[in-house]
Amino acid sequence: MDRRKRLIVFAVILFAVMLGVGIGAVKSSGYRDVCSVYSLKAPAELVVSGNISYYPPAPGYIVEIDGPRGRALLVSTPQSSSAYLVARVVRNQLEELTGDNRYAVFVLRGSCGRVAIALYSASEFIQKYGGNPVVSDVVVIDAVYKPGFTAKIFTRDGRLVYTGPVLLVNKILKGCHESYKETAATVG
Amino acid sequence: MRTVILIFLDCLAEAEDGGSMARARVLLALFVVVLVVDLALSVYLAFRGAFPAAPPLGSPTAYRNIYLHIPMAWASLALFTVSFVSAILYLATGREVYDRLVRASAAVGLVYAAGTLVTGSAWAAESWVGQHIGFSWTWDPRETSVLLLFLAYLVYFIIRASIPDPDRAATLSNVYAVAAYAMVPVVFLAPSVAHASLHPSFEQAAAFMRRPSVAPLFAAKVLTVMATAFLAVALAASRGWKAGIVRYVVAGLAAAYIIAAVVLASPYFTASLGYVKAASLEDGGIVSLKVETLSGRMIDVEFRHPVPSPVKPPVVRAPGGVTRPSIVGHIVEVGPLREGRIIVVTHWSVALSLALTGVEALAALLIAERMARG
């Protein structure tokens, strides 16, 4: 093989290596799956993504949160949707839930099939995303995980629907995928 | 196909001998003409371009970045493709003209990639994070891939500059230029390879761009940005020319982009602004608004008579089937609301993108002139 051909072959091999490195870097720098919280042993602030698990139709839901130093009880309100509950705090011994008296409660399912329960201050959620927020099927959240916090979501008649570790949401990162399906608007 | 590519590359880089000055003059004239058209288009789209009516987060006008950010990104990818093909041709033939093309297209491509990163992170702060002022970096797979692409081509110039022997530098840097192009497919694949991405895929974004009020203007904008970028590469790959007065003309045009951007963003400096959080409509007009100022104060405004919505159509169906007034989410000037006037303000990230479009064109010309000098 002459020198020029050798150089091209070398370049192509290097291209393949860089492609592998690039794909690996993008894959590993992407958002962690919500299942990753199951392997955490210490408090952590993390950005995770998960599929929204929709709430089956029911007259109402009760959310019970157990923490290392107490328990909180929340009851769903009519502002809830199938993608999230807006739940009012009716009893609270947890200092982590003193920021608001209502929380948006999301159930995020990871690729392992397990779920985590994400709690976001309802005032902030509604203030930021409006009265009828649109929630994508896949949600990316910036949240705090603290070991020892678990949530159980029951229907009013006491049937357990979901249970999982708790994530306290700092912010929801919104994808703009849905936006492009919309009507085009103009100002003027 | 191969012949077409070779002719195209030869057209970009021809001009080693006589006639090169005449060719450069034509290219410079074309550069100015295309830039004037791009300026007119960019200003129109930044001030008047259509946008998705009800995005889930932030000001809908931030989506006017579609017309500025995306063409920049595509131009950088197209230039890196020229660089890749030229690098292979250089390795295969050893012709110096291809080496010049690699350098020229990588340099101008880097300018556009840098613009893509800056404008993207300003837009993402508004539309992904809901952070109204400032930039954001969320390590979204597409964001990460464009950063990798930028760094990969930056390394090309470091390799080139660090080898003293010109022949060796050309050979090794061209081998690397072929490899660096691997980041381009990574940019395309990023949203589908990663577990989740905030960035839409091309197919998702194309759904909006195909709309009759968007498609022709978007296509024209892509064409003018591509033409500006490719003319800069053709100039950079040529020799023996000086920009002369054209440099000042292009600097003037870049200043015009910046002035238009300052005018677009001026309400941020001169008026109190707020985001419309809720609106009530009666008989097609707006009768009340709930506005949150940038400092976080909530204001309720009741109008004596219904005010026509400045956003058309006034009511839209948001994703998820919810119907809402299209004014919701927009930034408005708070003062005029008391007089029954609703003035919609374009998000500042669009002004930034507009200014950077002009700066990039000027930077591309200056780089081209510098490279042409050798």
Q: Is residue A180 part of a domain?
A: no
Q: How far is A84 from chain B (nearest CA, A)?
A: 13
- pLDDT, tens digit, 9 for 90 and up, residues A54-86: 998 888 899 999 988 889 999 998 888 888 889
pLDDT at position A171: 83
**Looking at the structure, do residues A24 and A76 belong to the same domain, yes or no?**
no
Q: How sure is the predictor about B258, in pLDDT bands with cuts at 50, 70 and 90? A: very high
Residue A169 has pLDDT above 80, yes or no: yes
DSSP states along B185-230:
HHHHHHHHHSS--SSPPHHHHHHHHTSTTTHHHHHHHHHHHHHHHH
Mean pLDDT in residue range B135-157: 89
- Mutation for B interface: A14, A21, A26, most B CBs within 10 A: A26
**Looking at the structure, do residues A18 and A38 belong to the same domain, yes or no?**
no
- CA B94 from chain centre, in angstroms, equals 35
**Looking at the structure, do residues A71 and A11 belong to the same domain, yes or no?**
no
Contacts of B60 in chain A (CB under 8 A): 185
pLDDT at position B116: 95
- pLDDT, tens digit, 9 for 90 and up, residues A85-132: 899 999 888 888 887 889 999 999 998 999 999 999 988 887 777 656
Number of H helices, E strands in chain A: 2, 10
Instruction: Output B297 or B221, whichever has higher pLDDT.
Output: B221
Q: Is residue A188 part of a domain?
A: no
Q: How far is A171 from chain B (nearest CA, A)?
A: 7
Q: How many CB atoms lie within 10 A of CB A129?
A: 21
State residue B14 phi and psi, 5-degree precision.
-55, 155
Amino acid, res. A45: E
**Looking at the structure, do residues A58 and A95 belong to the same domain, yes or no?**
yes
Q: Is residue A80 part of a domain?
A: yes
Residues B194/B145, Cβ–Cβ less than 8 Å = no
Backbone torsion region of residue A130, taken as left when φ is above 0, otherwise alpha when ψ lies between -120 and 50, otherwise beta:
left
**Looking at the structure, do residues A74 and A125 belong to the same domain, yes or no?**
yes
Instruction: Note whether B197 contacts A183, CB cutoff 8 Å.
Output: no
| Nearest chain B residue to A186, by CA | B50
Domain that holds residue A57: 32-175
**Looking at the structure, do residues A23 and A92 belong to the same domain, yes or no?**
no
**Looking at the structure, do residues A107 and A171 belong to the same domain, yes or no?**
yes
Residues in chain A: 188
Backbone torsion region of residue B75, taken as left when φ is above 0, otherwise alpha when ψ lies between -120 and 50, otherwise beta:
alpha
Contacts of B87 in chain A (CB under 8 A): 11
pLDDT at position B130: 74
**Looking at the structure, do residues A38 and A112 belong to the same domain, yes or no?**
yes
What is the count of structural domains for chain A?
2
Asked casually if ipTM beats, i.e. exceeds, 0.90, the reply is: no
- pLDDT, tens digit, 9 for 90 and up, residues B42-86: 999 999 999 988 887 889 999 999 999 999 999 999 999 999 999
- pLDDT, tens digit, 9 for 90 and up, residues B169-213: 999 999 999 999 999 999 988 877 776 777 777 777 788 888 888
| Nearest chain A residue to B140, by CA | A30
Nearest of B281, B262, B73, B100 to residue B173 by alpha carbon: B100
**Looking at the structure, do residues A85 and A5 belong to the same domain, yes or no?**
no
Q: Is residue A182 part of a domain?
A: no
Largest CA distance in chain B: 78
Q: List A residues 50-109 in contact with B (Cβ-Cβ < 8 A).
A: none
**Looking at the structure, do residues A92 and A103 belong to the same domain, yes or no?**
yes
**Looking at the structure, do residues A51 and A131 belong to the same domain, yes or no?**
yes
